[in-house]
A and B are shown apart, each in its own frame.
Chain A
Amino acid sequence: MLILFQEMEDKVISPEKAEEAKLKARYPHLGQKPGGSDFLRKRLQKGQKYFDSGDYNMAKAKMKNKQLPTAAPDKTEVTGDHIPTPQDLPQRKPSLVASKLAG
């Protein structure tokens, strides 16, 4: 009887721990050190966009030969044909959820 009682007590857990269990159920590969390097590095890298200087120079060379249309380029066609600008680059929201799944 004493053992049964103990098990019942263990089930009354704080709301925070209940939420933690929920999270771990959804993301079983979640890292053991939550507040540590992953979050902090993500925070420090805010604003990172990827700009390819090779594309930039190739496009610049092509421009010498033909006139590029001034209309805003297709957001998906960022490589090779024209000079990418920071505004063209697809918005890469650093999603913590995605990185947890990957990690």
Chain B
Amino acid sequence: MGLLLAVGLQSGVADIISTVEFNHTGELLATGDKGGRVVIFQREQESKNQPHRRGEYNVYSTFQSHEPEFDYLKSLEIEEKINKIRWLPQQNAAYFLLSTNDKTVKLWKVSERDKRPEGYNLKDEDGRLRDPSMITSLRVPVLRPMDLMVEATPRRVFANAHTYHINSISVNSDYETYMSADDLRINLWNFEITNQSFTPDIVDIKPANMEELTEVITAAEFHPHHCNTFVYSSSKGTIRLCDMRTAALCDRHAKFFEEPEDPSNRSFFSEIISSISDVKFSHSGRYIMTRDYLTVKVWDLNMENRPIETYQVHDYLRSKLCSLYENDCIFDKFECVWNGSDSVIMTGSYNNFFRMFDRNTKRDVTLEASRENSKPRAVLKPRKVCVGGKRRKDEISVDSLDFSKKILHTAWHPSENIIAVAATNNLYIFQDKVN
């Protein structure tokens, strides 16, 4: 694979991590958790004194993004769990990100403060108000350096636009708009306007009669360069590419991607395991990658009738589908990511395993994110699952896999070989080994 990994940072977070995202330069890494908190890590500047501490990530800011709510009218509990975080490209000294739970999207501004004003006339140094009648002279307050403080402030709250649960947000390449997708609808928002969706329902697949509901939207993303193009995936394993220039309501797709199914292979589980849990454009914008329960597929935008590449993530689970259905694991939503050059793709699995596929060499590797098996700064050892027959010494059998240890969320630095892997409530950051 050409990618050696070493354990950089393991951070225990109090709650289960529910999303991980690098910003556009890779300098910052944001995580969201089940408790509604966002933790942002910042990469250390490389220093000549300590060349081996090559840009480690340390906590930069922590804030409570969302709180639990209860919709009394609908008897609905609204979880504070952060479903997705998406960064805006940096346009000034401050950083901006979108974070969303099931119902509300928020725009957060994260900024540094390293100076503070001193010498107020009406307040003394402790902040107590001075009696104006006691003031005999005026002075001009001056800015003095202070210890660096990072503050996060909510700049916009986009609420009350989703009847169903938000699964995706995506910032448009025009940097002025973004979309939010729930199970049945996709809304387009302008960053400046919060009291209404810019164009409500650019996609609406709700049937007139809910009894006729056959599929839901599972993920959506804007094209990285074409601001009028986006894709959304469905629970039936299909992807639709839409062009916003054709109509206000993108009911009719411009392209429809679906792999034909062999009807003789169809089983009770077919539709469930074909449900797409994540869809991601390549950085080049020429391909899309989809993740369903057992595979990762790469599609060429110019070929709708089948994917150009299919990678088996954990095909050995095909003989376990019955129990995976009973314990609900079959509904787990795994994400997938591209590396910066679109040559390697990565996705998670069970037992804290994650998989990488090199699209050029066709080689793949299984690695594990766990404290027991990774000494700091040691190269990660490839893992192997034994399917049947004789189990070799280092292999693990399918029946010994821990299905409660699932890696659903991973992220890849935009340009370097640095990956972030969320294993339940632990965050692992792996980097290429130096020398």
CB B204 to nearest CB in A, in angstroms, measures 14
Assembled-state Cα–Cα distance A22/B320 (Å): 10
Assembled-state Cα–Cα distance A61/B328 (Å): 43
**Which residues 67-104 in B have Cβ within 8 Å of A in the complex?**
68, 70, 72, 75-79, 102
Q: Is the CB of A20 within 8 A of B75?
A: no
* Also in contact, A48 and B267, with CB within 8 A (given A16-B321, A23-B322, A86-B70): no
Q: Is the CB of B79 within 8 A of A47?
A: yes
Which of chain A's residues have a CB closer than 8 A to the CB of B319? Answer: 15, 18-19
CB B96 to nearest CB in A, in angstroms, measures 29
Interface status of B349 (Cβ within 8 A of chain A): no
| Chain B residue at minimum C-beta to C-beta distance from A97 | B326
| Chain B residue at minimum C-beta to C-beta distance from A91 | B77
Interface segment among B140-148, B151-159, B208-216, B224-232: the answer is B208-216
Assembled-state Cα–Cα distance A99/B267 (Å): 20
Q: Is the CB of A19 within 8 A of B216?
A: no
Q: Is the CB of B272 within 8 A of A43?
A: no
CB A92 to nearest CB in B, in angstroms, measures 10
Assembled-state Cα–Cα distance A72/B268 (Å): 45
CB A89 to nearest CB in B, in angstroms, measures 8
Tell which of A23, A40, A96 touches B215, judged by Cβ atoms closer than 8 Å. Answer: A40
Q: Is the CB of B77 within 8 A of A47?
A: yes
Interface status of A17 (Cβ within 8 A of chain B): yes
Q: Is the CB of B272 within 8 A of A35?
A: yes
Q: Is the CB of B213 within 8 A of A41?
A: yes
Question: Could you give, for residues 310-328 of chain B, a 1 whenever the CB lies within 8 Å of some chain A CB and a 0 otherwise?
Answer: 0000000011111001101
Q: Is the CB of A16 within 8 A of B328?
A: no
Interface status of A76 (Cβ within 8 A of chain B): no
| Chain A residue at minimum C-beta to C-beta distance from B182 | A44
Q: Is chain B's binding surface mostly helix, strand, loop or mixed?
A: loop
Interface status of B335 (Cβ within 8 A of chain A): no
Tell which of B165, B183, B275, B322 touches A19, judged by Cβ atoms closer than 8 Å. Answer: B322
CB B215 to nearest CB in A, in angstroms, measures 7
Tell which of B70, B72, B235 touches A35, judged by Cβ atoms closer than 8 Å. Answer: B235
Q: Is the CB of A19 within 8 A of B76?
A: no
Q: Is the CB of B75 within 8 A of A49?
A: yes
Assembled-state Cα–Cα distance A18/B78 (Å): 39
Q: Is the CB of A20 within 8 A of B269?
A: yes
Q: Is the CB of A34 within 8 A of B268?
A: yes
Q: Is the CB of B78 within 8 A of A47?
A: yes
Interface status of B236 (Cβ within 8 A of chain A): yes
Interface centre among A36, A41, A49, A86 (most CB of B within 10 A): A86
Q: Is the CB of B322 within 8 A of A40?
A: no
| Chain B residue at minimum C-beta to C-beta distance from A50 | B75
Contact-size category for A? 20 to 34
Assembled-state Cα–Cα distance A92/B216 (Å): 23
CB A12 to nearest CB in B, in angstroms, measures 13
Q: Is the CB of A40 within 8 A of B268?
A: no
Interface status of A59 (Cβ within 8 A of chain B): no
* Also in contact, A35 and B236, with CB within 8 A (given A41-B210, A43-B183, A51-B72): yes
Which of chain B's residues have a CB closer than 8 A to the CB of A46? Answer: 102, 165
Assembled-state Cα–Cα distance A49/B184 (Å): 21
Q: Is the CB of B318 within 8 A of A49?
A: no
Which of chain A's residues have a CB closer than 8 A to the CB of B210? Answer: 37, 41
Interface status of B403 (Cβ within 8 A of chain A): no
Tell which of B165, B184, B268 touches A23, judged by Cβ atoms closer than 8 Å. Answer: B268
CB A49 to nearest CB in B, in angstroms, measures 5
Tell which of A34, A48, A96, A97 touches B75, judged by Cβ atoms closer than 8 Å. Answer: A48
Q: Is the CB of B269 within 8 A of A34?
A: yes
Which of chain A's residues have a CB closer than 8 A to the CB of B269? Answer: 16, 19-20, 34
Tell which of A26, A39, A50 touches B272, judged by Cβ atoms closer than 8 Å. Answer: A39
Interface status of B373 (Cβ within 8 A of chain A): no
| Chain B residue at minimum C-beta to C-beta distance from A22 | B322
Assembled-state Cα–Cα distance A47/B215 (Å): 20
Tell which of B236, B267, B275 touches A16, judged by Cβ atoms closer than 8 Å. Answer: B267
CB B238 to nearest CB in A, in angstroms, measures 12
Interface status of B361 (Cβ within 8 A of chain A): no
CB A59 to nearest CB in B, in angstroms, measures 15
Q: Is the CB of A19 within 8 A of B318?
A: yes
Interface status of A24 (Cβ within 8 A of chain B): yes
Q: Is the CB of B216 within 8 A of A16?
A: no
Assembled-state Cα–Cα distance A23/B320 (Å): 11
Assembled-state Cα–Cα distance A22/B270 (Å): 15
Assembled-state Cα–Cα distance A23/B338 (Å): 36
Tell which of B164, B268, B270, B321 touches A44, judged by Cβ atoms closer than 8 Å. Answer: B164
Which B residues are within 8 Å of any A CB, using their own CB? 68, 70, 72, 75-79, 102, 164-165, 183-184, 210-211, 213-216, 235-236, 265, 267-272, 275, 318-322, 325-326, 328
- Chain A to chain B contacts (Cβ below 8 Å), 10 pairs: A16-B267, A20-B321, A23-B268, A24-B268, A41-B210, A44-B164, A46-B102, A48-B77, A49-B75, A86-B70
Other contacts beyond A16-B318, A47-B102: 6, CB < 8 A:
A16-B267, A23-B325, A34-B272, A48-B77, A86-B77, A97-B326
